[in-house]
Chains A and B, each alone.
Chain A
């Protein structure tokens, strides 16, 4: 349902998104039976394709030609897909979007090869645009994302981290790839530098806002809506913004410590969720997310007028207000 609503916001891109879907399938074609199955399995699981959407919308501010822009949109989605396959190994996840993960269906090693294969295909694909700058941007983004994930593992269970650590983490974890999607769309379509930089910053702010909302929803949405137990982030040792905002509360702290120690029972989980939902932390987190959202909207205001401008604004607002 939510995915449907989002799709309506970029309805006029649907035919181009279908081209991207077909290209993703072509790009992942392999002589290996297992890699073909694994890739098809991932493609069928769908996804919002939000990164290609941002590439396409970014490109609308330059010389838009889907047959050229797809050469950036496809690799960005491939990079994202590759990271999901490897993340499932790191998180030991059995299911993603209701389907068995590659590691669950085959094993960790096949998942590693699948991720590496998809990443290689992304690089092969982006070379079609023959742009050194595009390669530089994507490669630096890749490195930063990995650094972010390494920091996330370093920061796990460390309750004495500060909010700056959290922002630094989510910037790399989420915001940079969305920022690069908008930026690369602009570059591939030959936008002027000023416009490209507005789009880059827009993507960054939207990404920050999006991740904060994601972290709030992990605590406020139901288990059913999330498809996993609410509060999973904390129980896996990941300290998110709402938790950082309540960590010094005398009633909450023992529950947080139990969650981090892996000794929290179901009653305690429910008690923790009830308390944090009633605390100011959720509202404050929404407030911070909204600050990023407003910054994103300011960047949109600075862009030249066209139909993509409205879509960017609508998507940003949707992402900032989504319920799960």
Chain B
């Protein structure tokens, strides 16, 4: 196994998902669904690491990526005045992808997985809504909220198929991806968002500029994750190399999203 093989696996799964989510009108008005390479990498990690992997695992991983495509699509809706045709179709795109992830899950068939993932989606929605609520949380609590938003569905997938040992890496990796994405977005657009508001209000971050806060978190998360990977007793060396390469790379431009 080498880097090319892993890239091919991620790309193959991504193409398959995009093909299943394809809808002519949605593509025209809302663009390609957001399917993140990072998430696919963490979903495929057990397979890449040589664990037993069946068609059922592949379908379930596909469904998890579809769930995230659905939720990401709804992040594209403006808080006010979402009246344009593309905004209206983004609402429907998210709902359409939700219907397709449900169809995929229903075909597996694994009722327990549907239940676990539905619980995860509900929890993700609760955490996303938390950013609009007045309730005060400390930085640790917010980091947990962001972790749930980014990683809960992947965690449920890994749990369901007894790949528990990969959960910690996926959690850290997906949270790191989010911070990197926020940094990229901020550097490009310099726009305020809820994520920024939440982080800037934390007393630990007092006196720091938003970019500094993000860089600090990225550095902290990266070093912890790198440590976890390097010391992992179960990851194959070539998998470690690839994941480390991914962690050190930047997130591609098209994978930014507004907030949430």
Contacts and interface: CB of A to CB of B under 8 A. Distances in A.
B88 A146 contact: no
A153 B70 CA distance: 19
B77 A143 contact: no
Interface residues of B, number: 48
Contacts of B122: 30, 117, 120-121, 124
B177 to A, nearest CB: 21
Contacts of B98: 116, 119, 142
Contact of A33 (B102, B119, B133): B133
B78 interface: yes
Interface string A16-48: 000000000000001111110000000000000
B106 A153 contact: no
A113 interface: yes
A132 B109 contact: yes
Contacts of A123: 102, 114-115, 118, 121
- Tell which of A106, A140, A146 has the most Cβ of chain B within 10 Å: A146
Interface stretch (A1-9, A49-57, A86-94): A86-94
Contacts of A113: 74, 125, 128-129
Given A116-B71, A123-B118, A89 B129 contact: no
B99 A108 contact: no
Contacts of B129: 32, 34-35, 110, 113-114, 117
B105 interface: yes
Contact of A116 (B74, B79, B80, B100): B74
B121 to A, nearest CB: 4
Contacts of B132: 34, 106-107, 109-110
A271 interface: no
Given A120-B121, A150-B23, A130 B111 contact: yes
Interface string B102-124: 11011101011011001101100
Contacts of A31: 126
A158 B125 CA distance: 36
A149 interface: yes
A32 B102 CA distance: 24
Contacts of B100: 143
Contact of A89 (B77, B133, B135): B77
Contacts of B92: 86, 90, 146, 149-150, 153
- Tell which of A30, A32, A132, A140 has the most Cβ of chain B within 10 Å: A32
Nearest to B108: A132
A147 B106 contact: no
B152 to A, nearest CB: 11
Interface string B3-46: 00000000000000000000101100000000000000000000
17 contacts: A30-B126, A32-B125, A32-B126, A90-B88, A109-B78, A116-B121, A120-B121, A123-B102, A123-B114, A123-B115, A135-B111, A135-B114, A136-B103, A136-B106, A138-B106, A139-B105, A143-B96
Interface of B: 23, 25-26, 70-71, 74-75, 77-83, 85, 88-89, 91-92, 94-96, 98-100, 102-103, 105-107, 109, 111-112, 114-115, 118-119, 121-122, 125-126, 128-130, 132-133, 135, 260
Instruction: Give me the 3 closest cross-chain CB pairs, A-B, nearest first.
Output: A142-B99, A143-B99, A135-B106
